[in-house]
Amino acid sequence: MALKTKDEKANISGHATCCRGVWGCYTDAKGQSASRSRREVSKQGRQLRQTRRRRTFIHLQALSSHSHDKDDSTVIKWMSAWSQGEGLQVSEENVTVMTEGHYFIYSQVLYNSTIWIMGHVITKSLNGTGTKLMKCVKNMPNDMALNSCYTAGIFFLESGSVLELSVPRKSADLILKPYSTFFGLFSL
């Protein structure tokens, strides 16, 4: 005896049947249509990817700068422009890492100087030991006073690491606009 309808075919297996789209009339063991199961799995995967994508980051804008006479350097006071997560904290001139891991660190400083060479250094301090992570050095043109220096890199930072950006020149003339002088990092 030949079955005439899809409903009659479904009654033989004891499963409910859904007949939509290109998948035709397929059901899983629970009687749900295959397309519905795929949608639920896709939604769970999307939620997992979004959770993984929420990285800790901070982007800082310069507020002011001042000189340290003993180090013959200029340091910048920062404020947070954008941030996410609780793994990074800013305090005046420093960023403290609360959650260890690999971080992408970037910085740019715009100099207003005709001194032949300018640059900045990013230093990590941990347990009283200072380590230079990155240097950015720029030859300054004689005919133009403005020149920027950008640097970036990936580093493993331990919990408790303190980062500072400094210019190894006392009373350096810096342009402290949000688009010209900035500092930031994000977890990888």
Domains and CATH numbers, the chain: 56-187 (2.60.120.40)
Closest CA to 100 of 87, 89, 83, 84: 87
User: What was the pLDDT predicted at 45?
Assistant: 65
Q: For residue 68, what are its two tokens?
A: 């340290």
Question: What DSSP state is assigned to residue 93?
Answer: T
pTM of the shown model: 0.69
pLDDT means per 10 residues in the chain (188 residues)? 52 49 51 59 64 79 87 90 91 93 95 83 94 90 81 96 91 87 95
Strand 162-167 vs strand 94-97: parallel, antiparallel, or unpaired? antiparallel
